[in-house]
A and B are shown apart, each in its own frame.
Chain A
Amino acid sequence: MLDLFSQLLTDYTLRTVALGAATLGIVGGGLGSYAVLRGQSLLGDAISHAALPGIALAFLITGSKAPLPLMLGAAATGIVATLFIIGVTNTTRVPYDSALALALSAFFGVGLVLLTYLQQHAGAAQAGLDSFLFGQAAALVEHDVVVMAVLGGIALLALLLFWKEFKLLAFDPDFGRSLGFPIRMLDIVLTTLLVVAIVIGLQTVGVVLMSAVIVAPAAAARQWTDRLSVMVALAATFGALSGVSGAVVSGATANLPTGPTIVLCMGTVVIVSLLLAPNRGLLWRWWRQWRTSRRLRQERVLYDLYTLAAKHGAGDRPHEAATLDAMVSGSTRTAYVLRRLAEQGLVAETSDERWHLTDEGLEEARRLADKRNLAPDATIDDA
């Protein structure tokens, strides 16, 4: 592994691919945070699929596979698809998700038709255009990475510059409008930045998987923090790490494509975050639930002993575990709970396998009854 990372510094191709992957991860994670928070994850998917006809058209017009014209073409059809979705949603009864699916498949279909046409009619020059489907990171050259970094840098700079305005747009656009901010314009700008984040990653990851770069690091980052700034920074970091890891792992393994490997790395980060993140993580929540129910079971048994003691007017009168089982309907774990309570010195077992409250246990049960507003029918004389 160490050897692999030392190759990062020496191997030109690997370094170029890793830098490109890191760039698309940082930009995709940062801007993807906003897409995720605004419920636009699928818009990213539609934009990236809709970029395919743009790439083909740009090649048809310019006859070149230079990164900038192809990205411009991709961005152009991506934006047209977005406008189509907004237009259809606003003017017809077609709901937003249907409009998304419609735009995604229609634009992608046109893209495939154009690609097939180019393959049959444009000769050798078009070779490699179809790699935009699933990405071909190995073909990245330094010039590509520079273009990616410059465009991505501008997008991130704009995000930082209008931080407060974009936050307002994402959290409460109506309030923003009442303050006089041109919310629609801000929406257009932020969506355009999202388009930039998508098109710079297409050559590496491909139109089919690109939405994962937008969604996965952001969704993972949301698990770890409740602050927007931390979330954006974390998403960018996750994106960068996954990008570099994906590049290195696929570089070290024969026939392992880079784009899908990057996406797999991001998926791993998401799964780990969903499980392990404090507060929001599943394991954390399960553990908390388990701890709460255990505590409540203990309190219940303690309180039952207290009630029994109150009935008989003496705190230290012993009772069989079976009696306590019967009080908590269906519970058969009373013996286990009693043993745990005994460890805490709250109950004690007599020689004939019966249980009674200790003085501390009585104290604790009184405190609990007080806290939960429970009062047994009779009072107990202190033994």
Chain B
Amino acid sequence: MPDADPALTVRDLTVAYNEEPVLWDIDWTVPAGTLTGIVGPNGAGKTTLLQAILGIETPAAGQVRIFGQSYEAARDRVGYVPQRGSVDWDFPTDALDVVLMGLYGRLGWIRRPGAEEKEEAHAALEQVGMADYADRQISQLSGGQQQRVFLARALVQEADLYFMDEPLQGVDATTERALFDLLRTLQQRDCTVVAVHHDLQTVPEYFDRVLLLNVRRIASGPVEEVFTEENLRRTYGGRVGFLRKNESPISDSASAPNRKEESRA
């Protein structure tokens, strides 16, 4: 059952690097059981927002609540998929070992993963269609396969709320479809998914809700209400020539529900 509390509440969140605010006064709520996309131009603070929520970055001000609790208290309910480019894929390890890292939090200090944990990791690799690559050195995996390994690592966390930083980046169309189906499966299990997304074309198709971010929160809410040309122009500074596949540009929010049905069909 979805929680009564929202999965995520962010209040007045401000993050600064060297005096320059990267995120300014963000207020944002993510209801439980939704699939939320974060979009915005480069340098909008998308990754920083996730990292501030997860305690990787220290905010200058503001508050983050996960299911009504602090992050420290709710940590076991959170899963994280960092950007693929954030790690060195030439590190001497194999796919299974990377997935096992998702269980380190549950294992606690010093204890090593055993047979039971390895079984779980195998099952997660199976879910993302990577069962045959468990022993493969990670540098020998393609970009899409590496992305799947990261997703499998998040799956073994068995979280209620997932944060994913561009989980569909650099994967081919078939893989993107398969990974997206996986996100939907997570949602059907009452999980909440928040994902940074770079392809504006597919936002209405993939997500229920969206956060338009450019240092400030430009807009957030159901896709059909806030994913408008006007809001996108405010987010991307008017430089965006936004065209949906086979359709004219979004004119206003009134026709949005229709459009969404089409794209789901």
Contacts and interface: CB of A to CB of B under 8 A. Distances in A.
A226 B91 CA distance: 8
A311 interface: no
Given A164-B104, A165-B109, A226-B92, A177 B72 contact: no
A170 B90 CA distance: 12
B91 A171 contact: yes
Interface in B58-90: 72, 75, 78, 80, 82, 86-88
Contacts of B241: none
B231 interface: no
Interface string A143-174: 00000000000000000011111011011101
A38 B130 CA distance: 27
A181 B54 CA distance: 12
A178 interface: yes
Contact of B87 (A171, A181, A222): A171
B145 interface: no
B2 interface: no
A171 B80 CA distance: 15
A184 B75 CA distance: 18
Given A161-B110, A175-B82, A226 B94 contact: yes
A223 to B, nearest CB: 11
B93 A172 contact: no
A335 interface: no
A365 B55 CA distance: 60
B78 A170 contact: no
Contacts of B113: 164
A326 B80 CA distance: 58
A61 interface: no
A179 interface: yes
B82 A174 contact: yes
B137 A226 contact: yes
A177 B58 CA distance: 12
B72 A180 contact: yes
B51 A179 contact: no
Nearest to B138: A226
B82 A37 contact: no
A87 B137 CA distance: 36
A172 B110 contact: no
A310 B82 CA distance: 54
Interface residues of A, number: 26
Interface string B97-116: 01001001101011111000
A5 B110 CA distance: 40
B109 A163 contact: no
Contacts of B88: 37, 171
Interface string B31-70: 0000000000000000000010011100000000000000
A179 B105 contact: yes
Contacts of A177: 54-56
A180 B105 contact: yes
Contacts of B94: 226-227
B87 A172 contact: yes
B28 to A, nearest CB: 19
Contacts of B111: 164
B92 A174 contact: no
Identify the interface centre among A37, A168, A172, A175: most chain B CB within 10 Å of its CB.
Answer: A175
Contact of A179 (B75, B86, B91, B93): B75
A225 interface: yes
A172 B86 contact: yes
A180 B113 CA distance: 17
Contacts of A162: 109-110
A244 interface: no
B80 A175 contact: yes
B101 A178 contact: no
A74 B87 CA distance: 33
Interface string B150-161: 000100000000
Contacts of B80: 175, 178
A231 interface: yes
Given A168-B101, A178-B54, A178-B56, 8 more contacts: A162-B109, A164-B107, A168-B104, A170-B91, A171-B98, A175-B101, A177-B55, A227-B93
Interface of A: 37, 161-165, 167-168, 170-172, 174-181, 222, 225-228, 230-231
18 contacts: A162-B109, A162-B110, A164-B113, A167-B93, A171-B88, A171-B91, A172-B82, A174-B56, A175-B80, A175-B101, A177-B56, A179-B105, A180-B75, A180-B105, A226-B92, A226-B93, A226-B94, A227-B92
Q: Which 10 A-B pairs have the closest CB atoms?
A: A179-B105, A226-B137, A178-B80, A178-B54, A177-B56, A228-B92, A172-B87, A226-B92, A171-B91, A174-B56
